[in-house]
Structure 1
Amino acid sequence: MRAGLTPDADGAFRERRERAVDAPATTTWTCVADLGGDPGWYAANRLWQVRGVLDRVVGGPGNRGRPDRELRVDDPVDGWRVETVEPGRSLTLVSEQRMPGTARMTYEVHDSQGPDTDRSRLVQRLEFRPDGRLGQTFWWVELPAHKVIFRAMLVRMAGEAERRARADGTMGP
């Protein structure tokens, strides 16, 4: 069974992606902590902007930006809100956009196991709890774009961490 294609026993659709990163966990975390800021969403930034405009049209918060500081619980990040944050380790956002259900996005950063401490692992977890049939239909309609965009977000975030590590000299060329 592939993650995200069928709901779990509690009715939620869940996905988990993981990527090895050639950068220390501290550097990888800086990319997670910047989510929604200067780098935007790391993938499909224009689509995220359009989604925010459409959300505002239907009464949602739209794109509110984010604070220009370290994120804290309850901070807005465009159409999302910080639900939990463990600096250096994990960030969970819950969507406040208009949709028939509740969406959560979590990024976790882990040190690599073993002697290679200059590497880290970046984990992306997504959850959607649909509200009834409309929510399930919503999930299936947006699933193809969702898969492409969120996979690209993870890949590009990891790539940015590696670029930052090279730039600050913590990793080789």
Structure 2
Amino acid sequence: MRRGEVETRWSDASPAGAPWEPLPSDPPWSGASAYRDVREHRTTASAPDVWRVVEGIGGGNGWYSFPLAWAVRGWAHRLIGGVGLRRGRRDPRRLRTGDALDWWRVEELVDGRYLRLRAEMKVPGRAWLEMSVESGGAAGACYHQRAVFIPRGLLGHAYWWAVAPFHGLVFGGMARNITSAAERAATGLS
């Protein structure tokens, strides 16, 4: 386990979504309501430096913004019978499709470029967090982040609007801090 060579563990099991349910990549006209929080941040760090930070997210490394908010959300989730943040991650540096990552599941991974996490938290709807990195050549890289929520019923819509005021703090800080961490790592200041 210390070398990160664990083939599987109990938290790798995940309930599959129904095939008719929408994905975050579905176009808006496909039928379901979908709320999005989109962030983009340019950085002087290279795309591989930014990707290392993205792929190391969660678990002991945290979520790069407002740790108290993530902790409170994790505790609240455990109080209602969810997993909270206790699952951590299989390997501190590398992810693979299907991995559990705190209350998320790695749904899609394109090494060095794209990560989509599906929420396994108890919420009135379905949620995803997507992170991608694209090279800006000699100018560094561009980090893209998108949170997607597909509400279930009126309670789902109310939930989104109740947490929306915190998105600027949590998701905005996350985008800034991920690129800042990559810049520090690139200059050896981490």
TM-score bucket (shorter structure): 0.7 to 0.9
Matches within 5 A, 1:94-105: 94-105=118-129
Task: Give the counterpart of 1:149 among 149, 170, 174.
Answer: 170
Task: Give the counterpart of 1:137 among 158, 168, 171.
Answer: 158
How much identity, in percent, do the aligned residues show?
Answer: 38
Given the two structures, how large is their TM-score scaled by the length of structure 1?
0.86
1:52 aligns with 2:71: no
Q: Which amino acid aligns with 1:78?
A: D
Q: CA deviation at 1:46?
A: 2.1
**What corresponds to 1:61 in structure 2?**
83
Distance in 1 (alpha carbons) for counterparts of 2:124 and 2:155: 6
| SS in structure 1 of the partner of residue 76 of structure 2 | helix
Q: Which runs of 5+ in 1 are unaligned?
A: 1-7, 169-173
* Aligned structure 1 segments of 4 or more residues deviating by more than 6 angstroms: none
1:72 aligns with 2:96: yes
Query: Does 62-71 or 80-89 show the bigger shift?
Result: 62-71
Q: Which amino acid aligns with 1:57?
A: L
Given the two structures, how large is their TM-score scaled by the length of structure 2?
0.79
Distance in 1 (alpha carbons) for counterparts of 2:133 and 2:155: 34
When the two structures are aligned, how many residues end up with a matched partner? 158
**What corresponds to 2:36 in structure 1?**
14
Task: Give the counterpart of 1:27 among 42, 45, 49.
Answer: 49
Per-residue displacement from partner, 1:24-59 (whole Å, max 9, x unpaired)?
101010010011044310011222122111111111
| SS in structure 2 of the partner of residue 66 of structure 1 | coil
Q: Which runs of 5+ in 2 are unaligned?
A: 1-27
**What corresponds to 2:18 in structure 1?**
none
The answer as to whether partners of 2:66 and 2:169 remain within 8 angstroms in 1 is no
Please give the root-mean-square deviation of Cα atoms over the aligned residues, in Å: 1.4
Query: Does 129-138 or 51-60 show the bigger shift?
Result: 51-60
Task: Give the counterpart of 1:92 among 116, 133, 139.
Answer: 116
